[in-house]
Structure 1
Amino acid sequence: MTTNNHGAPGLAGGIADAEPLPGNHLSASPVDHTGLMEEPQVPVSRGYILWLMLASFGASIAMMVPLSYGIAVRITELAPGQEQMLGFITGTAQGIYLIVSPLIGIWSDRTRSRFGRRAPFIFLGTGIGLAGLVVMGLAPNLLLVGAGWVLGMAGWSISGAAIQNLMADKLPEGQRGRVSALTGLMTQIAPVLGIGVAYAVSSNTFLVFVVPGVIGAILLALFPLIKPEGSSQNIPVDNRVTFRSVVGSYGFSVRKYPDFAWNWLGRFVFFMGLYFNTTFGTFFYAQRLDLPVREVAGVVATIGMLGVVAAAAGALLGGFLSDKLKRRRLFVLFAAFLFVGGAVAEAFAWSLPQLIIGAVLMQTAIAVFATVDQAIIFAILPNRTETARYMAVVAFAQKIPSAIAPLVASVIITIGITGGDKNYTFLYLAGAALALIGGLVISLKVKSVR
């Protein structure tokens, strides 16, 4: 469900990684004396794209394995039958990160170091995230599991946001769709492979958390070491941070930036629907297939591997075709309708083949939407001198739903229930409706992007 600046010569010193691809003779984006930066023009190299993909994979595997499997296992161990605690744990962690993310964005934009503006936050987030997973794996009660996830979610989100900021900083318009597709593909593959890794070590709960975290940490740490961002010490800082500017960083002018506002709203609603239909995935599969929660990892991994093929096709189709056709909104609408089809199939599924069909459709839809909407965001950022700050605001449209949706879903699944089964049918249909509304808002109201 959720959520990159390498173009200007003088910005981060990464000129070796901004080499033109064959047949492209565009010049680099200039930086003026006030620090205002134009859109990047020079394509990044294939090697740089590869490391963007690997780092995205690392952040995703470390974040999603605990979220989609590990926390559910810990709840089953420490508080059997208390499925609703999953919503409270994940929602609380998302809410806390939501509050601090714009401050981290301001800090990143204003960081002046020989390592650049974004690389320090890749390292910082990785360290915090890994520490959080260790706490979760060793926690003797759900309170400490929740505290560990506050650290884990915040850490991996900081690292992931730094990668996004680098992409927004460096990718020219002609590469945004395809690179978003490739990095998005990695975020689709990582949880599936990560669940397989977790299943292989499922006899040891501590390893379920730590092994995916170590894999993610290695890939994230290698990225800025092999592809250094370069110094940011010479980038001018032309405004002071005041209490008023900090408060203002949590929002933006809807009247001044209507496309940014409509895209934010549509993204918010779409992700509400997405998190309705993904938060309780482990428990949902356990109920529909009548399996113990601990044994669901194998089923999730199997379904996920099939979904990866569809997600790969969706991400690449959406990214490359939207670049080629220079049309983004059409693909967002297509993704919304596809998500509805998958959600409805899941809502009424009581067998493995039905669950596979629904999951494949939903995975494809998520991949298309995430890829194309990210390209739209890069095109409509209000101010490129504050990329990280505005990307943090964009992240609100994903993080707020990830905090609210699990809490709301915890209530929805109890509506009209008889016996021990939760009402996942109603939950998945509600998610489908929200996703469709979100897609319609973006496709009909964002005007400056085709």
Structure 2
Amino acid sequence: MNVTTTDADRRRTPAPESPAGTGRLLGLLAFANTAMFALYMGVGSVLLPTQIAQIDPAHKVAALGMIGGVSAVFATLFNPVAGALSDRTGRRGPWILGGGLAALAMMALLGGATTVLLATIAWCLGQAAMNVHQSAVTAVVPDRIPPARRGTASAVVGLGLPVGGTLGVLIASQTVSGLRTGYLVLGAVVAVAAVLLTALGREPRREPAPPVPFGRQLKAFLSALATHDFRWAFIGRALLVLGYFCVVGYPLYILTDHIELPAGLEPAAAIAILTPVSMAAMGVSTVLGGVLSDRWNRRKLFVGVSAALAGLVMIVPVVSPTWTGMLVFSAVNGLAFGCFMAVDTAVVTLVLPRAEDAARDMGVLNIASAGPQIIAPFVASAVIAGLGGYTGLFLVGGALSLLGALAILPIRSVR
């Protein structure tokens, strides 16, 4: 892919970090991503489902699906819009800091919610704040990391998902009897990470982008999708994420209503066991996938195989709806999803159409992560109600992930 770089483009795009600066920056980004995923996983997997089950136990699946779908709209809208604004201002730091502090305030509001409506409003605002924060954090890698180190950088940053997910679920499971405390702790971790990244990250100042008429902005907003490779990367991620979240959005209810747990093991405690299993596997595959994809320069192979594996492993809880089956599923699914997200992120940074629009275009790509989360709760609740319960849910999730694997094949500029 050939992209013409003008003098104005170069002035707005910071030079890559030195090796020492790269190491410090990656450490800060790793912590920021860890905090971010701790909140997402702790709230989404444990705190919010528990809260909704307490508020409306008879309609918990439908209520949680509605909250998940509506809040994902906010995530989908705010991520690329905030990314475009941070491109426009030439700064990531204020958006990282503002989003992180706003997230803490929204977690305080969510912790006090006593109705489904109030919980919906609070989590929607929380998603908005977190996606303002996330859009700017995500743009730092294409801004400041050399292309030859993108796979390794994506792997290091990608460890935030397994590590943060594990910590978030453990914090949430330990505070499930005091939901407000759990929400505040997770929000505070994000706020602290945002302060450290903006204070210690030494962000180079980019020149603000020149003003653009609204019509041109609207046209440019999704212009990256006109690029062949970016479009297929978008489609592949969207399908994989849709399949993934159709299933992982309901872990508490799956363990309550579908899986035969050992005597004495409660669903919330089971999540606290399964999550470290999945996240440890995810951590291993994130590092290995990122490093080996750089070394072998074969990123499409890693992305396609991991997406296919994520689809095939969905059959395990269908044929074995047992505690052992869930342990196997969690481990293999973690391996597949970790490798996919690490290497796919590297692929995306290499097919971005324009370096100076990195945050905007990464935000557009994040629609492929957030957008399916709008659809997934409604798809999942419909499948559970009308297509064989949780068995049908696993099969649908697997089919979507396999389609995501096939969507990687048309990408041409990355091996």
If the TM-score is normalised by the length of the shorter chain, which range does it land in?
A: over 0.9
The verdict on how the C-alpha distance between 1:254 and 1:103 changes in structure 2, with shifts beyond 3 A counting, is closer
In 2, Cα distance between the equivalents of 1:394 and 1:308?
A: 24
The verdict on how the C-alpha distance between 1:174 and 1:416 changes in structure 2, with shifts beyond 3 A counting, is closer
In 1, Cα distance between the equivalents of 2:180 and 2:353?
A: 44
The yes-or-no answer on 1:269 pairing with 2:239 is yes
1:220 counterpart residue number: 194
| TM-score, normalised relative to structure 2 | 0.92
**How far off its partner does 1:40 sit?**
4.3
**How far off its partner does 1:202 sit?**
1.9
The verdict on how the C-alpha distance between 1:354 and 1:236 changes in structure 2, with shifts beyond 3 A counting, is closer
1:308 counterpart residue number: 279
Deviation digits for residues 224-279 of structure 1, max 9, x if unmatched? 112221434xx1533x2322123224412655x11111111111111111111211
1:126 counterpart residue number: 100
In 1, Cα distance between the equivalents of 2:208 and 2:57?
A: 55
In 2, Cα distance between the equivalents of 1:39 and 1:260?
A: 23
In 2, Cα distance between the equivalents of 1:121 and 1:39?
A: 20
2:270 counterpart residue number: 299
1:15 counterpart residue number: none
The yes-or-no answer on 1:357 pairing with 2:322 is no
**Residue identity in the other structure for 2:64:** L
In 1, Cα distance between the equivalents of 2:191 and 2:14?
A: 33
2:82 counterpart residue number: 104
In 1, Cα distance between the equivalents of 2:136 and 2:26?
A: 15
The yes-or-no answer on 1:447 pairing with 2:412 is yes
1:237 to 204, 209, 221: 209
Deviation digits for residues 418-440 of structure 1, max 9, x if unmatched? xxxxx111111111111111111
The yes-or-no answer on 1:337 pairing with 2:308 is yes
1:206 counterpart residue number: 180
1:433 counterpart residue number: 399
- Whether contact under 8 Å (1:103, 1:246) holds in the other structure is no
**Residue identity in the other structure for 1:388:** A
- Whether contact under 8 Å (2:139, 2:358) holds in the other structure is yes
Structure 2 unmatched runs, 5+: none
In 2, Cα distance between the equivalents of 1:446 and 1:33?
A: 29
In 2, Cα distance between the equivalents of 1:290 and 1:80?
A: 20
In 2, Cα distance between the equivalents of 1:288 and 1:227?
A: 46
2:62 counterpart residue number: 84
- Whether contact under 8 Å (1:42, 1:172) holds in the other structure is no
In 1, Cα distance between the equivalents of 2:187 and 2:287?
A: 27
In 2, Cα distance between the equivalents of 1:38 and 1:375?
A: 19
- Whether contact under 8 Å (1:60, 1:216) holds in the other structure is no
The verdict on how the C-alpha distance between 1:81 and 1:244 changes in structure 2, with shifts beyond 3 A counting, is same
In 2, Cα distance between the equivalents of 1:195 and 1:86?
A: 18
2:7 counterpart residue number: 32
Which protein has the bigger helix share?
A: 2
**Larger RCO (CA within 8 A; separation ≥ 6):** 2
**Residue identity in the other structure for 1:168:** P
In 1, Cα distance between the equivalents of 2:308 and 2:83?
A: 33
1:173 counterpart residue number: 147
- Whether contact under 8 Å (1:277, 1:431) holds in the other structure is yes
**How far off its partner does 1:416 sit?**
4.6
In 2, Cα distance between the equivalents of 1:340 and 1:222?
A: 38
**Residue identity in the other structure for 2:71:** A
In 2, Cα distance between the equivalents of 1:103 and 1:129?
A: 17
The yes-or-no answer on 1:282 pairing with 2:252 is yes
Q: Percent identity?
A: 28
2:230 counterpart residue number: 260
**How far off its partner does 1:168 sit?**
1.4
The verdict on how the C-alpha distance between 1:64 and 1:31 changes in structure 2, with shifts beyond 3 A counting, is farther
- Whether contact under 8 Å (1:125, 1:159) holds in the other structure is yes
1:6 counterpart residue number: none
**How far off its partner does 1:216 sit?**
2.3
In 2, Cα distance between the equivalents of 1:338 and 1:445?
A: 19
**How far off its partner does 1:41 sit?**
8.0
**Residue identity in the other structure for 1:297:** A
2:29 to 52, 65, 76: 52
- Whether contact under 8 Å (2:260, 2:322) holds in the other structure is no
Q: Bigger shift: 296-305 or 31-40?
A: 31-40
Q: Bigger shift: 323-332 or 280-289?
A: 280-289
- Whether contact under 8 Å (1:249, 1:389) holds in the other structure is no
Equivalent position SS for 2:7: coil
**How far off its partner does 1:146 sit?**
0.5
**Residue identity in the other structure for 1:427:** L
**Residue identity in the other structure for 2:397:** G
**Residue identity in the other structure for 1:180:** S
**Residue identity in the other structure for 1:183:** V
2:128 to 151, 154, 178: 154
Deviation digits for residues 165-211 of structure 1, max 9, x if unmatched? 01110111221111111211221221222111122222212112111
Equivalent position SS for 1:241: coil
In 2, Cα distance between the equivalents of 1:250 and 1:409?
A: 30
The verdict on how the C-alpha distance between 1:38 and 1:46 changes in structure 2, with shifts beyond 3 A counting, is closer
Structure 1 unmatched runs, 5+: 1-29, 418-422
| TM-score, normalised relative to structure 1 | 0.85
**How far off its partner does 1:290 sit?**
5.6
In 1, Cα distance between the equivalents of 2:219 and 2:212?
A: 11
In 2, Cα distance between the equivalents of 1:283 and 1:119?
A: 38
In 1, Cα distance between the equivalents of 2:29 and 2:342?
A: 14
Number of residue pairs the alignment of both structures matches: 406
In 2, Cα distance between the equivalents of 1:99 and 1:185?
A: 26
**Residue identity in the other structure for 2:411:** V
Deviation digits for residues 78-122 of structure 1, max 9, x if unmatched? 10121221111011011123234332122101115xxxx111011
**Residue identity in the other structure for 1:445:** P
Equivalent position SS for 2:320: coil
- Whether contact under 8 Å (1:62, 1:156) holds in the other structure is no
- Whether contact under 8 Å (2:14, 2:143) holds in the other structure is no
